[in-house]
Amino acid sequence: MRIDILTIFPGMFDSVLNTSILGRARELGLLDVRPTDIRPFSAMKHKNTDDYPFGGGAGMVMMVQPIADAMAAVCGEDFHGRRIYLGPRGKKLTTALARELAREERLVLLCGHYEGVDQRALDTCVDEEISIGDYILTGGELAAMVLTDCVARFIPGVLGSSESAEEESFSGGLLEYPQFTRPREWNGLEVPEVLLNGDHARIAAWRREQSLLATARFRPDLLEAAELTARDRAFLAAQGIRLEEQEEKGE
């Protein structure tokens, strides 16, 4: 998959894209991420990319011309993919959306800075707006990195096959169980005995229960939407954890 990123700060992406799993994915040719500097596309003498807002007010607005020309240059003649603006009013980035985006041939991510971009750029150069959460950033670059990382996990081969993002989603919308590594004992704190004896059925059952407990405690809202077996429901009931459905039935 190819992801183009239009930004006035392409240098911000260097370490993130060359490190760890994203770095390896690029080396393996699974992911082709290309930050493109918008500035050289400016038709202005001094290569300006922003200007004062019409109607007044604080800050600067990114101009439509450099963005439109940069977008046309990276998209080329027959573009197949999605052009995305990262902004707080966009559709919320979720696992489901990331999985969907990972199936695209190409993505182009437009990063705004300052007060934002000229509305005409959004109207003509972008297919959709996506938000990584309900907060404001100084620029879209960090949001573009989050989206890139989140989408990359769903590209086949980016994670090892045993640790695939799809595998992980088989846990059915629950939070992860706690993990432990050596040493077995640290400052008097022991690793749970069940993990040490090699009984894989017992380990799987314990992990499932821990996922259920963690979800009930930290994100009970997720529990309502999770795929629960009869055994899961029985376990939760035995723990005194009541699901919304069960409450409704009881009422």
Angle at 20 between CA 173 and CA 218, to 5 degrees: 25
- Residue 47 gets the label, from left (phi > 0), alpha (psi -120 to 50) or beta, of left
Least CB distance to ligand 4H3 at residue 29 (A): 29
The Cα 32–Cα 13 span in angstroms is 13
- Closest CB to ligand 4H3 among 87 and 216? 87
Nearest-CB residue for ligand 4H3: 112
Which residue from 87, 118, 211, 223 is in contact with ligand 4H3, where contact means CB under 6 A? Answer: 87
Which residue from 70, 109, 116, 152 is in contact with ligand 4H3, where contact means CB under 6 A? Answer: 116
Q: Which amino acid is at 142?
A: L
The Cα 32–Cα 25 span in angstroms is 8
> Does position 86 bind ligand 4H3 by CB under 6 A?
yes
The Cα 142–Cα 224 span in angstroms is 31
- Closest CB to ligand 4H3 among 121 and 216? 121
Which residue from 14, 28, 128, 133 is in contact with ligand 4H3, where contact means CB under 6 A? Answer: 133
Q: What is the number of other CB atoms lying within 10 angstroms of the CB of residue 95?
A: 14
Which residues, 6 or more positions from 140, have their beta carbon under 8 angstroms from its beta carbon? 7, 85, 86, 87, 109, 110, 111, 112, 113
Q: Which of residues 137-166 bind ligand 4H3 (CB under 6 A)?
A: 137, 139-140, 143
> Does position 35 bind ligand 4H3 by CB under 6 A?
no
> Does position 66 bind ligand 4H3 by CB under 6 A?
no
> Does position 178 bind ligand 4H3 by CB under 6 A?
no
Residues paired with residue 85 on neighbouring β-strands, in sequence order = 110, 129
Stretch that binds ligand 4H3, among 65-73, 136-144, 174-182, 207-215 (CB under 6 A): 136-144
- Residue 18 gets the label, from left (phi > 0), alpha (psi -120 to 50) or beta, of alpha
**Size of residue set near ligand 4H3 by CB under 6 A:** 16
Least CB distance to ligand 4H3 at residue 69 (A): 18
- Closest CB to ligand 4H3 among 126 and 174? 126
Give the interface with ligand 4H3 as residue ranges (CB under 6 A): 86-88, 112-113, 116-117, 131-133, 135-137, 139-140, 143
